[in-house]
Amino acid sequence: MPEFSGEITHVEVAGVPLWLIALLPFIGSAINAVFGRRFQKSGWQAGLQKKLHIGSAAVTAVAVAAMLGAFVLAAISFAQLVSLDGGHRYLHTYGWQMLRIGSLDINFSLAMDPLSGIMTLIITGVGT
């Protein structure tokens, strides 16, 4: 059996599951895809729609709420990431085991380091 050597990496478990950051915009787009026409025909906030020149206030509200939720979760995760020591700034969320062959484990996991945290804040912030 080969010997392994190297530095042990400290991994902090994310307080907020990182997969929720990606799931919220997907849920918002799925709601708009399924119910978008019904929202537009409902006439909810029709005066506001004409004033702001938007197609449907309900569709807009769902899209903005989904991205705002993702931004809030990303900000919470980034705040947790920044609070860690310099050499230990790495968050990890285990999803599930996808495949196991002998001693090989292939898992679905998400990770956040400082660069991916900043990019997540930029993308979700601009998307909001």
43: left (phi over 0), alpha (psi -120 to 50) or beta: left
Domain with 44, as residue range(s), is 17-86+114-127
Using the 8-state DSSP alphabet, how is residue 7 labeled? P
Judge whether 49 lies within some domain: yes
CB 73 within 8 A of CB 7: no
Residue 9 lies inside a defined structural domain of this protein:
no
Question: From first to last of its 128 residues, what are the pLDDT tens digits of the chain?
Answer: 456 666 666 677 888 899 999 999 999 999 999 988 887 776 666 666 666 656 677 888 899 999 999 999 999 999 999 998 888 888 989 888 999 999 888 999 999 999 999 999 999 999 88
Decide if 108 is inside a domain: no
In a 10 Å sphere around its CB, with 0-12 CB exposed, 13-18 middle and 19+ buried, how is residue 23 labelled? middle
* pLDDT reported for residue 96: 87
Give the per-residue pLDDT at 124: 95
| Cβ count within 10 A of residue 92 | 15
Would you state the pLDDT for residue 44? 60
Q: What is the largest CA-CA distance in the chain?
A: 73
Report the alpha-carbon distance of residue 49 to residue 57 in Å, rounded: 6
Domain count of the fold of the chain: 1
Helical residues (DSSP H) of 1-128, grouped into ranges: 19-42, 46-52, 57-82, 114-127
Q: 62 lies in a domain?
A: yes
